[in-house]
Structure formats: C-alpha cells, structure tokens
Amino acid sequence: MTAVTARPRRSRADRPAPDWDLVYKRNYIERLKRDRPPMNVREELPELIARGYEDIPEEDIVRLYWWALAHDKPKIGTFMVRIKVAGGLVNAAQVRALAQISNDYGRGEAELTTRQGIQLHWVELAKLPEVMERIEAAGLTTNGGEGDTVRNITGCPVTGLAEGEAFDVTPVIREVADHFYGNPEFSNLPRKHKYTISACESQCNAPEISDVALIAVRKDGREGFTLRIGGGMTNTPRISRDVGVFIPREETVEVLEAVTNAWQRDLRYRISRAKARIKFMMDDYGPEGMRQRIEAALGRPLEDGVAPEPTADTDHLGVHPQAQPGLLYAGVPVSSGRISGAQLEAIADLVESYGGDVRFTRQQNFLLGNIPESRIDDVRNTLRDIGFDLDRGRAFGRSIACTSHRFCNYSVAETKGKLEEILDELTDSYGAGPIGDLAIHVDGCPHACAQHWVGEIGLQGTTTRVDGSDERIEAYDLTVGGGLGSRSAIGRRLMRRVPTHEINGVMDRLVGAWLKERADKGDFNFTLGDFCNGHTDDELIAVAQGIDVANASPDTSVGVRVPGPLLPLVDGEDRIEVQAPTVGEALAIVAKRFPGFKETVMPEGTVDKAFLIAIGDEDVRNLDGMNTAVQPGADIVVITALSGG
C-alpha cells in the first residue's frame, strides 16, 4: 500500500469564521434547533403523548433531551428523567419528594450521577408531565439536564462545612444556577457546557475535566475565583488549563456569561458536533487567546490571578468534624450509585430527625451534613440497616460506573454490576483496607460518562468474538494511570477487548502486583497509578496476562467504532479491526463486509448526511475527508448526526 501523508493543518483560530448558512448546511442539530427550538417541546408533550411513543419522530425524541428526558433501552416507551441538583445540596423534604417520585413512577429505582444529580428510569411517556411538575414542586428541575445547555452545576459536597476553604461558595452556586438554568440565552449552545465551582482545598470537584471551573481564592482580602477552562472526556480527553485571571465574587455571573458567549458566538464551534466543546476552543487559542476573547465579550480586562494547585487528596468518605463545633459530616459510599426509593425515604426521615441535609457527590455517593456528635452512632446504625455501611471499603465509594447497557442505548457492556463484582473479588482477595484508595471507572461506551480516562484503572465496554466462533460477548478496553487532584493525568490505553470472563483475572493480577510492590517499598502512599507509571506498557501487559514480558503484544490495529444504535448493522461488532491507510479505505472494507452498514451509512459509496466520521473528536471533513490518514492503533468513529448529547 502507498503511504499517505497528511497535509499540515491550520488551527481553527487561523481559519476564516464560517457563517450561519454553512453551520446549518453542515450540522443537522443546529438546523433542528433553529427550526424547532427544543425548549418548546415541553408544551408539545400532550400532543406527543396523544400520538403514541412509536409515532414520535426521532428528532422530537432528541428535543426532549433539553428537558433531561431520554428514552430507556429497550425503546419501549419508558424514559430516563435526569434531575438537576445545584451543588448536590438537597434538604430532607426534597429527598422525600425524590423518594416518592421514584416509587410512584420509576419502579422504586434511582441513580446518583457523576454531576451530583439523580436520575430515574422506567417513567412512562404519558406520565412525564406530572413527573416534571412534581420535581418542580420540590424546588428542583430537569431543565437543561441534557441537550446543548448549561448542565448541572457541581461543587465540593462539604462546602460550608469544611475548615480551610477560602469561603462558602454555596450562595454563588445558587446564584449561578438561578441565572443559567432555563435561561434561553444559554439554551442553544454549541454542545453541553459544564460549570463547577468550589473552594475545596483538595479540589475534589474535578476542575481538571470540567468545561469551566471556578476555584475560590482570596486576593488582597477579597473573595473571588480563579478560572480554568477546557477539560473534558470522550474520545479526546483533556485536562483544563488556567486562564490566569482573578474574578471578584460579585462579578461571577457576568464573567461566566462572557466565557460562555465567547464560545457560543464563535461559529467555528458549531460546524461539527464532533468539535463543538469549549475544550477545542482552548486547543485552538490557548489560555492567553481565550483570555483575550473573554475580555472582548466582557468589554473590559480582567485582573491577573493564578489557579492554586490542590493541597491534598480527599474523597470526603467516612465521618469528619465540621468547621462548626459539635457537628460532624458523614460521607457514605454508594456502590455504583444505585439507590432505591425506600432508601431515599429512610434517609429523609433520618436527616429530618436531627435537622441536617443531604449532599450528592461527584463520585455517585451522598454525604450527610450537620450531624450532632451525640447522634453519630444512631446515624451509623441507621445507615447500615438500610444498606449503606460507613465502614464498607472506600474503593466502593471511590469507583464509579455509568448507567450501563441495561438502560443506555449506546452502552455495549455491563458496568455497574461488573464494577461491584470486581470490587467484591478484590476485597475478598486483598482486604478492604489495602485496596481502599483504588479508583476504578467503568464505562459502557466511548462517551466516557464514568470518566474512565481519569480512573487509576479505566474500563471501556466493547465486544469480542469467542475463539473459533462468530458469537460475540462483552469485553473491555483497559486504561491505566489516570487520576485527579494532585495526581491529575489522562490514563493510557493498555489493552483492548479483554473478554468479560477474563477481566477479573486481569484486574486481580494488576492489583496484586501493585500491592506487592507497595509493600516492598514500604510506602503506603504508593498508588496503583504510581505503579503503572513506573512500568512500560509491555511490562504491565505481561503482568495483566500472567505471561513473560517477551510475549506481550499490544494491539496496534486500526478500528472503526460503531455506536450502539447501529450495532445490528454490523452483527454487534462495535469495533471493527481493519488494515487500511485512510479513513475512506477503512470504511469501504466495513461496508463490503456488512451490507446493512453500507446501505445505511454509505448508501451511495459516500457517508450519508445522517452520520459524521471522526478520528478521536476531529471531524474528518476538517482534515482530508475520506483521504485522511490513519495510524495503527487509531479509532475511526461513526457518529450519529442526530444526537443531542
């Protein structure tokens, strides 16, 4: 084959800005938002309900995302309802309302999310209006929980309770939420947009992977924030970067408006949804260029400032004294974030009995605040009685899993159950204490909702064939060495397609080797991430497979990634390995092998307008199109253009 050399590419910042005509021509969702504004779909719900689920066009299903309503898997007319909880803070009455809504409409099931919210499943189409009304009656909202909006605003779950924070940012989170939630000026963004605001010295709220992060500081005695921009996950993970400014507290909303407007008004980031996140704007302009554009949108310069580094690492699990004398808070591990309506009801009763509150955490746990010291034994016992043991291994609280293929149409492998199975086996083998700092992140697809790129061990669901047959089974790609806080890093992919029945053994061997090396060093602070970063890929693969390092063979294939909704077209094969030097040749091989794929995705030999093709998050139309060169180990990603996420 003839080698193909990619042409040098200019940054988007150097290219002429597109106009709206080009945006509408290239981006299906932008046309949909123009012609049928998604925020209006709530008013249309009675009509959609009358038509019946099977007769609702897919574009109306997409518009429902703006109200955080997404169809469950299988698509039989039930919905996920995602509820925004600014900063994760809820009172006893709100927890009780969530419990009752879950019991009445969601089969008594709920999930805590990685953005400090909570979501229900099983909600019938006809019940959506009354569910939303009951959520709003509790002082909460679904508005903007999905779609091209400002998503739920996160923060440290112990803000206002912890010693050492610059100041309590709870009122700021509320002010920002009141301004942006449902605001039509910020409900037609290029893509989803995530703010986080915190004063936590450990920066437990993950500013590194947020679109926009405000970190509380004091400057010359004044309360305010420094600013980081450009974090994110999915196919092209990024760590956010310090913009180098100080924002006085009273100017928070004004500056966040300027940040968001600088991005949303630059049409370069509306051409393709594959590159529509603010992290790509940071890639193109850098911190200084971003600052200039923010200041231009603001109409004045900003003060200089430097974002502080985290001073320690914490997960806020367990019982700790508050800054307020005589009070404690308790961080409660919730395995995989799963919680029932009955448990929520019991938590509401408990918290109400002592006048405390509940705080959902980024790690799919919850925290009980303002516990009188005299009540802590009662709290501990009550939690244990309802299924939450404060003394359960910390790894169960530090590890997270996405919604999984039980409900998500994109997930191709079990996540929540698999994570619990792995942690149970590791606990049995090594004890809860020794593995307590371990953070395993399990995703069912490349969307990285569980942030597998920053787990010490990350698993991304995929499929593989059983040797000697065409049967496909669940499998996992394995990444290692990720982290947040003082050990912030994007993990590196180590292995592909480890069958589900083998992944437990792989995890056991890696964790066992780490614990042995930690014991040999006599350094309890030696993390699994440290272990992985101290060894080559070949060495780690050999450990994981239980073989000699000379026999380790990393996968270097080119893959065509097919999203969950298209798997029936390719016999369930979510990553199709091919040998091809360009995108076009790779897709042609897949089309020849799978006639259904060809008919749907490439009916005339070219990619249908309903789909985008990307390498990582780079739309190939912005590269060399079908002639774009691909390197061994790269993934070519097929993206459904009609996608609201």
Q: What is the pLDDT of residues 231-269, one digit of tens each?
A: 998 878 999 999 999 999 999 999 999 999 999 999 999
**pLDDT band at 644; cut points 50, 70, 90:** low
| HEC readout, 426-488 | HHHHHCCCCCCCCCEEEECCCCCCCCHHHCCEEEEEEEEECCCCCCEEEEEEEEECCECHHHC
CA neighbours within 13 Å on the CB side: how many for 114? 20
Using CA atoms, how far apart are residues 281 and 12, in angstroms rounded to an integer?
Answer: 8
Residues of the chain with pLDDT > 90, as a percent, come to: 78
Span 347-351, mean pLDDT?
Answer: 98
Span 617-622, mean pLDDT?
Answer: 80
Give the model's pLDDT for residue 575.
87
Is residue 195 over pLDDT 70? yes
The structure tokens listed for 470 are: 């065409």
Is residue 552 over pLDDT 80? no
Using CA atoms, how far apart are residues 97 and 102, in angstroms rounded to an integer?
Answer: 9
Which residue, among 29, 59, 65, 35, has the nearest Cα to 272 in the 3D structure? 29
CA neighbours within 13 Å on the CB side: how many for 310? 20
pLDDT tens digits for range 52-98: 988 999 999 999 999 999 999 888 889 999 999 999 999 999 999 99
Give the model's pLDDT for residue 612.
85
Question: Which string of b and e fits 374-403 if b means at least 16 CB within 10 Å?
Answer: ebbeebbebbeebebebebbbbbbbbbbbb
Is residue 227 over pLDDT 80? yes
Give the model's pLDDT for residue 468.
77
Using CA atoms, how far apart are residues 622 and 271, in angstroms rounded to an integer?
Answer: 10
Residues in the chain: 645
CB 389 within 8 A of CB 335: no
CB 330 within 8 A of CB 367: yes
Using CA atoms, how far apart are residues 361 and 312, in angstroms rounded to an integer?
Answer: 18
The structure tokens listed for 28 are: 């299906």
Using CA atoms, how far apart are residues 506 and 494, in angstroms rounded to an integer?
Answer: 12
Give the model's pLDDT for residue 8.
47
Is residue 334 over pLDDT 90? yes
Give the model's pLDDT for residue 11.
63
Using CA atoms, how far apart are residues 542 and 549, in angstroms rounded to an integer?
Answer: 5
Give the model's pLDDT for residue 274.
86
For residue 120, the surrounding DSSP H or E stretch is strand 118-124
User: Which value, to the nearest 10 degrees, does the dihedral of the CA atoms of residues 333, 441, 515, 540 take?
Assistant: 180
Is residue 172 over pLDDT 70? yes
Give the model's pLDDT for residue 24.
96
The structure tokens listed for 608 are: 């249908």
CB 579 within 8 A of CB 627: no
What are the two backbone dihedrals, phi and then psi, of residue 613, each rounded to the nearest 5 degrees?
A: -120, 130
Q: CB under 8 Å to 357, separation ≥6 — which residues?
A: 89, 90, 91, 92, 351, 368, 369, 370
Give the model's pLDDT for residue 78.
95
Is residue 457 over pLDDT 90? yes
Alpha helix ranges (H) inside 527-620: 528-533, 537-545, 583-593, 595-601
What is this structure's pTM? 0.89
566 — alpha (psi -120 to 50), left (phi > 0) or beta? alpha
Using CA atoms, how far apart are residues 319 and 204, in angstroms rounded to an integer?
Answer: 17
Give the model's pLDDT for residue 1.
34
Give the model's pLDDT for residue 515.
97
Query: Which amino acid belongs to residue 503?
Result: I
Give the model's pLDDT for residue 3.
39
Give the model's pLDDT for residue 9.
52
pLDDT tens digits for range 565-594: 888 899 888 888 888 889 999 999 999 999
pLDDT tens digits for range 109-161: 999 999 999 999 999 999 999 999 999 999 999 999 999 999 999 999 999 99
Give the model's pLDDT for residue 12.
67
Give the model's pLDDT for residue 643.
60
Q: Give the pairing type, strands 195-198 and 212-219.
A: parallel
CB 146 within 8 A of CB 66: yes
